[in-house]
Structure 1
Amino acid sequence: MPQLDVKTIYFLVGLFATTTGAVLSILALTGRFDRWLKYWGISNLCTGAGILLLTFRDIVPDFYSIAVANMLVIIGYFLLMATAQGLHHRNMTWWPHLLFLGLIAGLFLMMQNADSYYNERTALSSVACGYYALRVAKITKQIAREEDIVSAYLVFGIFTLAALVLGMRILASLTYHLGGDSIFSSGGMSMWVILLAASIGPLWNMSMLLMIMERINRNWIGRALRDPLTGALNREGLKRALENNTMRRHSDSHPFTALLLVDIDHFKQVNDQLGHAFGDELLRSFADIVHHQLRSSDLFARQGGDEFVIILPSSGEKEARDVAGRLQNAFAQETDRVKPDGLAVTLSIGIAVTESDQLSGSLHQLMARADSALYQSKHQGRNRITSAQAA
């Protein structure tokens, strides 16, 4: 049975990563994507170039095939973390990572002799790459949970597996059980690591691509289900949200769910006297207030014009009145600041409450009851909160 040519496998893995990086970098140059694509492309280029340089061991000076090669691979992992951070829309503090990479580079310069420090170099590179693999796993898990992106769990699993393998490699190097005296030794730990890399390298690029495509698809669907002016759900968006399992879970955790129907008083006069641009700005201000006042489980939708729907799962009449009062106070402060030429721009609110397990089937009736309560608020002088029970 012929032995595996480990150096050839390294070369093919490096070539694949370099080619992938070149394609991603070319796409990044079009300027149609965010910065994370550039990081992703350079990450593959660095990792691929580092692995290719490793295959020139004993052909080029040790400085290039050891120090430079290992640092390129580590920088590749670091840039993968930067890619994940960018996808998560989080700013990253660069200087601690640059100091860490500088320290690692200094240690590799001290251990660049190919005839010595094999186990130490292996442990060092595995620690650095394992750390960044764990960071990628953590970030993608957060993306999966916060945005409900299923493919992000796949990325999380792949990088968790990579970190686990690198952890085993650290243990093997510290106990001198790597097998052989070179990364190209057949049958040793390094051979199995590169075989695994050959398997999961393409997989993690594909899984990240799936995660990105799923997010883009969700964003497009999200735009179709939202009012472009206020960012609130439209009617179809509200319907979809009520059908969502997550929404049902929130509703089922409490016996009651409240619905608020909110109307901006004298909004027609605002448009007539101050113009539609001012009216649009007022609607955006109101939407901003609502977004800051509500919980992540609450729903906010625009019914049309200046009428809005707010659904509060796990809430009864008291909680609904508390929310309505806070909205009125915050909106009053905002309109006092804007001072729309003496117009009394206030909020009239109608409240209706239903049993949580009846929400999806009784939404039409619930809206009708809230609309009746809203009419009473308007009829009794506006700037009022009326519950359907009292209507």
Structure 2
Amino acid sequence: MPQPTPPPRRAPILGGRATRAVLALALLAGAAATAHATPLSDASRAFAAHTGARLVFDRGGLPDGAWYDQLPALSAERQLRAARLLLDEAAKYPRGYLGAIGVRAVGVFAACVSNDNDGFHSWDDTYGGYLYYGVWNGRDGIAAAYYSDGQLPLTFHHEVFHAVDATAGGVSDHDANFHADDARFAAAVSGERRYPAARIAQGDLARLAAVGRGRVLEDAVAHYATKSAGEDQAETARWMMTNLADALVQVARRPELAGSQRMLHLLGEYRGATTDGPALSWFVDVALGRADRSAQATAPPRDPEVARLVALAAGSLPELDDVVTARRLLARFASGGIDALGARDRARLAQAALDLTPRLGRARARANDD
């Protein structure tokens, strides 16, 4: 979970959703879809379609970054299990959220091994190094170890929050954003400037209490939280996202607790990271399992060609003309024009591209068979 030295200051990256669109369009241009899917490829595609980030299992699939000295690969069986675990956890975020906060890839490995110890980790004789749980590269990638079914979700939410912490209004910029909220976080935790209790309807509170396990976060999650404000928040995130019903009851009924103040701060961070980030009601619906978590309602696209692609993605592509039109429009955006779109249209384009990728690949395969 350590955070590496951030890269030199750079221009804010293109919105994560636009980056996701470019990646999806590149896949389409290369006809990457295959006619012979496997359970792992299905799970990986579903993860990408929901999150906007690729799920990878080899070091070469990660973006550039200060990764660990060793990232040994998982067995094929463990890769599939990890993919299914993370698909479940990713459903706790709105569709496209990881891409919107700048995350392009999430890598999962048998271990994260470093030659160095930051004072919080233990030596492992098997790998000849210190075992870590995961890392965010300070920009656009996450690497996580899969030691157990209970640990992987914790690591995932911890590292995702680092990316949330570095993003504001859909702009991912470590230098500008990562520490900008630390003073407000400290004031809330100390009691100097507390957040008010979360306002949740009484009926929902009763339902949340019924499905929860009665757990309470009184203060910090673990000793690792003492490392920095950023690690304190990320540790809080992994507790909150894996105890969501209990966390929501707590922030509504016991806001005076330092643990509650930590979580109330995080709720604001999740919402403010993107222009349409998840509100409190999103998390309530997720915890109660009553919402369609696959997408949030959005306005129709303003750009007519994006609107046409969205309509094609929602249909069944029954006619050859539809396939040709979809490819033509995607090729146009792949060659330029994404920057001119608004943030919402970029998000809709990204999702349409991801939805169309396997279907256009199958159409190509059918044409080759004829």
Q: What band does the TM-score fall into relative to the shorter chain?
A: under 0.3
TM-score when normalising by structure 1: 0.22
TM-score, length-scaled by structure 2 = 0.23
Q: Which has the higher contact order (CA 8 A, sep 6+)?
A: 2
